[in-house]
Amino acid sequence: MALVVQKYGGSSVGDAEKIKHVARRIIDTQNAGNQVCVVVSAMGDTTDELLDLANQVSTNPEGRELDMLLTAGERISMALLSMAINDLGAKSLSFTGSQAGIITDEVHGNARIAEVTPDRVAEALDGGNIAIVAGFQGFNRDSKDITTLGRGGSDTTAVALAAALNADVCEIYSDVDGVYTADPRVVPTAQKLDVIDVESMLELAAAGAKILHIRAVEFARRHKVDLRVRSTFSNDPGTIVLSDEDGVNQMEESVVSGVATDKSQAKITVIGIPDIPGKAAAVFTTVAEAGANIDMIVQNTPTGSDVTDAVSDITFTLPKGDLKKVLDALAQNRGVLSYRELESDEQIGKLSVVGAGMRTHSGVSAILFRALAEAGINVEMISTSEIRISVITSLDQVDDAARAVHKAFDLDGDNEAIVYAGTGR
């Protein structure tokens, strides 16, 4: 008997009818001879509605109370799903994150899972029950307080439970029927992948593909959990994200798995920084202390009449939402940092090409840059990893860039893909 962990996102349990649909799907999985543990997000817009209430009563809700508030969302969806399953004649028990043994650190709103002790879940499964677990939430032992895992939290709960329960597979359900070679809203000829290696999935997630959250993929990679990305509303087998290197090696590997775009970034250029040791570090210390995560960094060659007054420019990208606070922090520290001026630009887009095949195939960057040049797209920044090349373009050119690059790497399918939306938390 196999053990299957399934995760259903908020759009999959958005109302009573959808909950009943999901309940039938879960029972079918059990009837096929599996033990089933289900992780569920809050219904539809519940989280946003609760956040809205929080903002109505407080200008700056503290994390502890916000976590207490938001975790009500999964409590509702998990209890309803459990009732619906019981009503259809199967046995089911629901568990909060705390009851399911999701132990985290103390960081409210963005807690990390420290340990998973799913004794009650395992006991419920052994008793023939379908176990329903609240996604997104955990418990800190020291403070005895409830925590939430932040964005992508329910995916991470599912993967962590799959690892702790030694599950055979972890299925991530949403309204998307798999991982595509590109966002079909941008590239209509994008194709669904049957299989992708976890490293490439990680790079795609990091590059802005919203199908799976990077933390969940990282957890799956580290704990060797195979994922299956599927739609709640179709029987398509979806996409397998393989964690096993042997499995990946057996794949008929394409050079490029997919193309991702990200329009959520802004860039800052710090102009005229003295080219002396420690100045660049001081810039990034300032940024880190402001609480922003930076993504790409480019430092140009020093310019200046002689070595002593050489100056350089540092450009980096960061989430648009962090732009103002980082600019403020840099301005406040101008005296120490000794730069000449600051520039920022929110009108940028990031295009990434990802594929495990890049490790062994040469010429990928040549194809990429030729395609961009032929499409008349100007590249402002470049960064690479072993299996990814990312470029920054202007915001209004990034979609054209994605279509050109998708075609250049022979990823175009014959049919238009179905359009997918985000996966919620």
Residue 408: exposure state from Cβ atoms within 10 A (0-12, 13-18, ≥19): buried
Shortest reach from residue 101's CB to a copy of itself, in Å: 12
Dihedral angle sign, alpha carbons of residues 72, 52, 38, 214? negative
Which C-beta is closer to a copy of itself: that of 60 or that of 293?
Answer: 60
Which C-beta is closer to a copy of itself: that of 60 or that of 415?
Answer: 60
Shortest reach from residue 131's CB to a copy of itself, in Å: 13
Binding site for a copy of itself (CB under 8 A): 16, 19-20, 23, 50, 53-54, 56-62, 64-66, 68-69, 71-73, 75-76, 78-84, 86-87, 92-94, 96, 99, 120, 144
Q: How far apart are CA 174 and CA 319, in angstroms?
A: 25
Which C-beta is closer to a copy of itself: that of 14 or that of 208?
Answer: 14
108 Cβ contact list (under 8 Å, min separation 6): 62, 63, 64, 66, 67, 145, 147, 148
Q: What is the dihedral of CA 154, 157, 161, 163, to 10 degrees?
A: 110
Shortest reach from residue 218's CB to a copy of itself, in Å: 30
340-379 in b/e form (b: 16+ CB < 10 A) is eebeebeebbbbbbbbbbbeeeeebeebbbebbeebebeb
Shortest reach from residue 316's CB to a copy of itself, in Å: 35
Q: How far apart are CA 417 and CA 402, in angstroms?
A: 15
**Mode of pairing for the β-strands spanning 169-174 and 2-8:** parallel
Shortest reach from residue 136's CB to a copy of itself, in Å: 14
Query: Helix, strand, or coil here: 233?
Result: coil
Which C-beta is closer to a copy of itself: that of 22 or that of 242?
Answer: 22
Closest to 274 in 3D by CA, of 314, 309, 316, 315 = 309
Shortest reach from residue 74's CB to a copy of itself, in Å: 9
Q: How far apart are CA 16 and CA 299, in angstroms?
A: 54
Which C-beta is closer to a copy of itself: that of 88 or that of 421?
Answer: 88
Shortest reach from residue 41's CB to a copy of itself, in Å: 14
Please name the helix (run of DSSP H) or strand (run of DSSP E) that holds residue 180, with its range, or none. none
Which C-beta is closer to a copy of itself: that of 50 or that of 329?
Answer: 50
Which C-beta is closer to a copy of itself: that of 41 or that of 200?
Answer: 41
